Amino acid sequence: MKRLFVAMLTAGALALSASPVFAQLERLEIIAPAGAGGGYDQNARITQSIFQQYELATRIQVENQPGAGGTIGLANYVNGNKRNPSILMIGLSLVGAVLTNKSQVTLDDTYPLAMLSGEYQPIVVKADSPFKTLDDLIAQFKADPGSISWGGSGPGGSDHLMYGLLAKAAGMDPKQINYIVLTSGGEMLSGVMGGHVTVGTGGYSELASQIESGELRALAIGAPEPIEGIDIPTFVEQGYDVQLVNWRAVVSNKDPRGEERAALEAAVAKMVTTPEWQAALDQRGWQDIYMPPEEFAEFLKTEEARVELLFKELGLL
């Protein structure tokens, strides 16, 4: 009986010591610095759903704050001095937007909470393109740079950055890229398939059905190694040192209140282990690239330096 009593006390103490980590996250705010439907918003709402299901926080609200590539949401988040615990979704495009918009507020003003998800982008040409391989495309680019038009989202976005990395890997000046801005995934598809641009790109999930149907030919994908279930050779496999993931992550306040940071870290770490999180990634074709705070902080530092260098080489700074 005495042993049972001690065991019950120990179990109760463990339960009590563990529960406040999540219970103190009351009225959690999740900020998506973009409109509804995009990558930031989707990650925010998946997080909200799983946090609610597993009782990792209470009264969770998602707020969309679009504008200026995410820098408006970033500035509001940093300068808002919110009373309640809060987190902000960020990604590769926001790193570039800070530079493009010469934002006075940067990601250095936040705490890197965790890397969450990522999507590797293929580059594609239309089905009847004369470019059968990546080498074919690069040979023409070298012979006549202006003859190749590269379709992508706004200057300095993940599309532009990947093309810049490819130009560098091919020994070309990234400024020679004939970059054509396309405002949506639909415009990208019609631009490539209609022959209005030579090359297109985007998230694999956006292009998968056209690739699988044969309407588009994928020449390469920006993953570091082959991806299971995706039959597209990587740039690296073909001799071009191009690796780029369109990642999404979450940051929190640089100066948290009390135990807030530890609670947020524990909640996110729990979320990414759930079957619901994995199902959400699988459904969208996203990769699980979770990194805890220290590892993500190192990645972010390296990524910011790489993006700034590429901006200069592309003539954007």
Q: What pTM did the predictor assign?
A: 0.88
Contacting residues for 198 by C-beta, under 8 A, at least 6 apart: 125, 129, 131, 137, 147, 148, 149, 150, 151, 192
Neighbours of 226 (CB within 10 A): 14
* pLDDT score at 5: 35
Average pLDDT over residues 181-201: 92
**Residue 110 phi, psi dihedral angles, 5° rounding:** -125, 175
Within 8 A by CB and 6+ apart from 277, the residues are 46, 50, 271
Mean pLDDT to the nearest integer, 222-247: 95
> What confidence category does residue 186 fall into, taking pLDDT thresholds of 50, 70 and 90?
confident
Indicate if the pLDDT at residue 255 is higher than 60.
yes
**pLDDT of res. 263:** 96
**Has residue 102 got a pLDDT over 90?**
yes
Q: Is 81 a residue whose pLDDT tops 80?
A: no
Is the confidence at residue 118, as pLDDT, over 60? yes
Report the C-alpha gap between 305 and 95 in whole angstroms. 10
Quote the CA–CA distance of 92 and 299 in Å, as a whole number: 11
Would you place residue 14 in the very low, low, confident or very high pLDDT band (cuts 50, 70, 90)?
A: very low
> pLDDT tens for residues 130-147?
999 999 999 999 999 999
CA atoms within 13 A on the CB side of 51: 32
* Confidence bin at 23 (pLDDT 50/70/90): low
Q: Give the pLDDT mean for 32-54.
A: 95
Tokens matching residue 99: 């530079």
Q: How far apart are CA 97 and CA 146, in angstroms?
A: 26
pLDDT tens digit sequence for 142-172: 999 999 999 998 899 999 999 999 999 999 9
pLDDT above 90: residue 183 = no
For every residue of the chain, DSSP letters joined together read -HHHHHHHHHHHHHHHHHTHHHHT-BS-EEEESS-TTSHHHHHHHHHHHHHHHTTSSBS-EEEE---GGGHHHHHHHHHS--SS-EEEEEEHHHHHHHHHTT-SS-GGGEEEEEEEEEEE-EEEEETT-S--SHHHHHHHHHH-GGG-EEEESSTTSHHHHHHHHHHHHTT--GGG-EEEE--SHHHHHHHHHTTSSSBEE--HHHHHHHHHHTSEEEEEE--SSPPTT----BTGGGT-----EEEEEEEEESS--TTHHHHHHHHHHHHTTSHHHHHHHHHHT-EEEEE-HHHHHHHHHHHHHHHHHHHHHTT--
What is the C-alpha separation between 127 and 166, in angstroms, rounded? 21
